[in-house]
Amino acid sequence: MTERNVEIEDPLHAVVGTGKPPVIAPGHTFSTVTDKISAIVLTRKTSLGWYAGFGVAFLLTMLLLVSVTYLVLKGIGIWGNNVPVGWAFEITNFVWWIGIGHAGTLISAILLLLKQTWRTSINRFAEAMTLFAVACAGLFPAIHTGRPWLDYWLLPYPNTMGVWPQFRSPIMWDVFAVSTYATVSALFWYIGLVPDLATLRDRSQSKTGRVIYGMLAMGWRGSAAHWHRYEVAYLLLAGLATPLVVSVHTVVSFDFSIAILPGWHATIFPPYFVAGAIYSGFAMVLTLAIPIRAVYGLEDFITLRHLQNMAKVMLVTGLIVVYGYMTEAFMAWYSADKFEMYVPINRMTGAYAPFYWGLLFCNAVVPQCLWLRRVRSSPIALFVIAIVVNIGMWLERFIIIVVSLHRDFLPSAWGMYAPTIWDWSTYVGTIGLFLALLFLFVRFLPMISIFEMRTILPEAKVDEDLRVI
Amino acid sequence: MARATASVYGLMAEFDDPTTLVAAAAEARREGYQSMDAYSPYPIEELHEALGAHHTKLPLIVLIGGLCGCIGGYALQLWASAVAYPINVGGKPYNSWPAFIPITFECTILAAALSAVLGMLALNRLPMPYHPVFNVPRFALASRNRFFLCIESKDPKFDLDGTRRFLETLNPREVSTVAD
């Protein structure tokens, strides 16, 4: 037994009594945790790699700006979507991005309520990822309205036209769900940051740093009474965010399932969409966490345990998604409805069949490798699988949206969809925006929650026996 | 003494670990001190109890906020769809309550979350740009690895020398005077 507790020099392979890698490498103290995480922001020289990466992401963000500007000038005719495929890349990307965001909330809220301490070192940047993904997601329906400068018409406000939004429409539900989600995610993230901003304020060597972090920290001083209310507020926010995150993708799925279109009108949609969202979100967390921990040397804090656990979540949610695919096919057959039965046949053999088979390969076949412990313990293998799942989940949304729309009831109304260069540039542009925001985040804010890392250290425990003097 | 306490916010003892701080806080309470606060780099449940825990009103604020959001969200939809701008959509009643549930739910969460954050900040009197404890240079470590107990001069039992002597008995690293 004692052998298993031996500290091995490589923190990646350090093993504690349970036989699992630890959530934090042994030997860390309050000061080492604080210094190591805050040094990334405060003292470490910004690497050339950061400038290069941010530069590329910034250029792509400029591409997004050009695309949106051209869109406003010309109208949505620059995109490939047209009747019958009125929703195409833009809504695919919207659902893809917002799904990615869901993992952040799951990690920060649901795993907090379930007392999963391993979430501590990944929740901060998973929440940041949520925020940036929701920003990218929100952009798509906003520009897809065709006249984005009139988007405020979606809000219920007294106006001289005397009209009010149609609250029976799932599109209105979406407006409320996504804007609530964005607001609550931002609050959760910022409130989580406040004690760490105080740490940065106290440790910053420059006047500018002290002033900016000081203002953002709002005078946080770590008082016991403050901590108490803070913890209550944080738990309540987690409790509120948990049903919220489930509701958001449920409402997104209502956008489809309320319609009578074959391929959309299915009761499996809400749970299937939520599972897909968590699946793609964890894939994105892995896609980001694996390079970040390697580049910034954070293997002590983001250990193999985290990667393995995320791989397991991916495996489970991936299986739920596969169950969703099977249910869709079964219900189509069971409905005995000609149009419903045509949907899976068209998906498997129609014009877009390669995408469907690609989707099954990416989402159903490749992730089965995660059953093997060897794969779950290899960061490189996990990174590759995560990328494959990201692609697979994008294909899934493309198939649900475009393939369902292009073959509806009347053959005379059938059509084909092909993206234009502007569809692609807008999509790639949002990836640039997402990455640019992430680069700024890891440079200017602590990407791991310092105060929560302190709480999981052995020295953080109050020794009950020694309390009485 | 009155003159001395006027310019002094309190006395602050610095500790190395959470256990000593919790023990010190409990001891100070036993000694009869009431106006004091402890500062730590992370939340310590026992510390709040040792200082004489009282329940926070925050959950009630959040409940009220959530209820306001819930009722307000539904009322907005009902009023807009049935009173201000009634439209017959596929023969659905003007008060189509099942269709109003998602937005009612989202408004509940939004209002409750905003109350949680704003309520916590308000109860904690934050943002607070200036506070005397920051006058102690070593207090910067309260956000890193040190633990502090500050007995405030407004406490009836506070006495610059006596309180200092008392704090010295609690195993502190050092005791410093906090200027107001």
Q: What is the DSSP string of A303-354?
A: -HHHHHHHHHHHHHHHHHHHHHHHHHHHHHHHHT-HHHHHHHHHHHHSTTHH
pLDDT at A149: 93
* Percentage of residues in chain A having pLDDT higher than 90: 80
pLDDT band (50, 70, 90) for residue B53? confident
Backbone dihedral angles phi then psi of residue A80, each to the nearest 5 degrees: -80, -15
Would you kindly state where each structural domain of chain B is located, as residue ranges? Answer: 2-53+131-179, 58-123
CB A233 within 8 A of CB B142: no
Residue-wise pLDDT tens digits, A85-126: 999 999 999 999 999 998 888 888 888 888 888 888 888 989
Q: What is the mean pLDDT of residues B33-53?
A: 90
Average pLDDT over residues A51-73: 96
For A150-199, the pLDDT digits (tens) are 999 999 999 999 999 999 999 999 999 999 999 999 999 999 999 999 99
Confidence of residue B7 (pLDDT cuts 50, 70, 90): confident
Query: Of the candidates B110, B120, B127, which has its C-beta nearest A184's C-beta?
Result: B110
Chain A CB contacts of B16 below 8 Å: none
Q: Is the pLDDT of residue A14 over 50?
A: no
What domains sit in chain A, N to C, each tagged with a CATH number?
2-460 (1.20.1630.10)
Bridge-based pairing state of the strands B174-179 and B36-39: unpaired
Q: Are B43 and A461 inside 8 Å of each other by CB? A: no
Contact B85 A251 (CB under 8 A): no
Chosen from A30, A450, A453, A455 to mutate, greatest number of chain B CBs within 10 A: A30
Q: Mark which residues 436-465 of A lie under 8 Å from B by CB.
A: 451-452, 454-455, 459-463
User: Sheet harboring B147-152: ordered strands across?
Assistant: B36-39, B147-152, B8-15, B174-179
Q: What is the pLDDT of residue B107?
A: 97
Q: Exposed, middle or buried: residue A412 (CB in 10 Å: 0-12, 13-18, 19+)?
A: exposed
Q: Is A157 on the interface with B (CB under 8 A)?
A: no
Query: What band does A19 get if pLDDT is binned at 50, 70 and 90?
Result: low
Contact between chains at B102 and A164 (C-beta distance less than 8 A) = no
